[in-house]
A and B are shown apart, each in its own frame.
Chain A
Amino acid sequence: MKRLSELEYGESGVVREIRASQHELNCLGIRMKKQVKMITRQPIKGPVVVVVDDMEVAMGLDTAEGVVIETGEHEGS
């Protein structure tokens, strides 16, 4: 388990928990059991950009810290 903000470039995983801004994130496609992939993390605590369902979403670092990701063998939908 990792925070979304801790994913390496190009690393992906499955969303297991959303601790804050749940509704807003859901509306942008970041939901439980979704596969997300890290595209970039901006320097100096900047935002992160992830891909979910082939669509890019940008979010602030604090928001990304509230999303718990399972990386590794398990495949999500």
Chain B
Amino acid sequence: MADTSRTVLMMGNPNVGKSALFNRLTGGDAVVSNYPGTTVDYTKGVLIENGQEYEVIDAPGTYSLEARDAAEDVAVRLISENPGATVLVVLDATRVERGLYLALEVIERGCPVIIALNMIDAARERQITVDTRVLQRILGVPVVPTSAVSGEGARDLAGMLRKAQKVDIETVRARADGQFDTPEQSGGCTGCGGC
């Protein structure tokens, strides 16, 4: 099997801005539209960051890893076919809760994960605040606020890709239950720069 350690797989719910962010990261031409199900097949692109070349894959949106339709099936297959790939989970900052389910599922699979908190501009406008630092500490993976329309955060996100983390779901649960002040015991500092 091909080396997939430099592959970045973008996963997330439909219509959260994955394709828009993909275009920002790779300069690609993925189709961006305002309805769920725009992307029904994957698109590949290349991102060069710090002399490191990544292959970025924009997957169709999915609500969970149990595929509901053929487009979701493509996404779920991509994650199995690219073991070792970094999974960039894109969350919509205005509806974090929905995306978290998929994020947890991906974490449970044992993939190295990094999270983009996209649509941060829309969240601000709707007066929704997401505490990025707490989210980062509970999940133990880097969380980068982005706006694919303005480009805000895209560079930071690219720079953070190499800091994607594999985490044990039980430690996530322990930290979520309140003991998140002991990062050393629970998998070590994520080095995500959030502290």
CB distance from A35 to the nearest CB of B (A): 14
Majority secondary structure of chain A interface residues (helix, strand, loop or mixed): mixed
Alpha-carbon distance A59/B97, docked complex (angstroms): 20
User: A55 to chain B: which residues have CB within 8 Å?
Assistant: 95
Measured between beta carbons, the chain B residues less than 8 angstroms from A28 are: 63, 98
B11-27 CB mask vs A (1 if < 8 Å, else 0) is 00000000000000000
Q: Which of B64, B66, B97, B126 contacts A29 (CB 8 A)?
A: B97
Q: A29 to B101, Cβ gap below 8 A?
A: no
Bin the interface of chain B by size. under 10
Against A, the Cβ 8 Å flags (1 = close, 0 = not) of B55-68 are: 00000000110101
Tell me whether A44 is interfacial, beta carbon within 8 Å: no
* A53 adjacent to B97 (CB under 8 Å): yes
- CB within 8 A of B95: which of A23, A24, A26, A53? A53
* Chain A positions within 8 Å of B68 at CB level: 24
Asked if residues B95 and A27 are in contact (CB atoms below 8 Å), the reply is: no
Question: Which residues in window 13-37 of A have CB below 8 A to B?
Answer: 23-24, 26-29
Q: Which residues of A contact B64 (CB under 8 A)?
A: 23, 27
B106 → chain A closest CB, angstroms: 14
- What's the least CB distance linking A14 to chain B, in Å? 17
Interface residues of A in 53-72 (CB under 8 A from B): 53-55
Tell me the nearest residue of chain A to B62, going by C-beta: A27
With a cutoff of 8 Å between Cβ atoms, the chain B residues found around residue A23 in the complex are: 64, 66
Give the complex CA separation of A22 and B170 in angstroms. Answer: 25
Contacts A27-B64, A28-B63 known; 16 new A-B pairs at CB < 8 A: A23-B64, A23-B66, A24-B63, A24-B68, A26-B101, A27-B63, A27-B98, A27-B101, A28-B98, A29-B95, A29-B97, A29-B98, A53-B95, A53-B97, A54-B126, A55-B95
